[in-house]
Amino acid sequence: LRATQLPLTEAADEIDAMDSLRASVASVPIEGAYAYGFQYLYYEQYKVIQREMLTNLGLAIAAVFVIVLLILAELRTTLLVMLCVLLTDVSILGVMQMWGLTNDSV
């Protein structure tokens, strides 16, 4: 069967549409049925990008912490450096919000 999906403008709406169509197809007792559309490749990206960004940011901060601790060998100074790094990240995210930039695909 073929179907046409109406164009959507918001990433949250696209994710909801994809998930609801997949749930509808999964509820039909037809072996091997699946919902696929080329645009779903982008919708999947929208679905995981926030979690991936937070994971990568956390891993990067942890790596910086370990490296700075090894180089400086003093916990208090390392924590001050980490505070500077965290404040820089918060500042960048704040400017992105102020400019109306979103964290999605190119």
Query: CA geometry: angle at 82 spanning 78 and 84, to 5°?
Result: 120
Residue 40 CA, chain-centre distance (Å), reads 16
pLDDT tens digit sequence for 12-68:
888 888 888 888 888 988 888 888 888 888 888 888 888 888 899 899 999 999 999
- Spatial CB neighbours of 18, under 8 Å, sequence gap ≥ 6: 35, 40, 43, 44, 47
- The predicted-structure confidence for 72-88, as pLDDT tens digits, reads as follows 999 999 999 999 999 99
The reported pTM is: 0.66
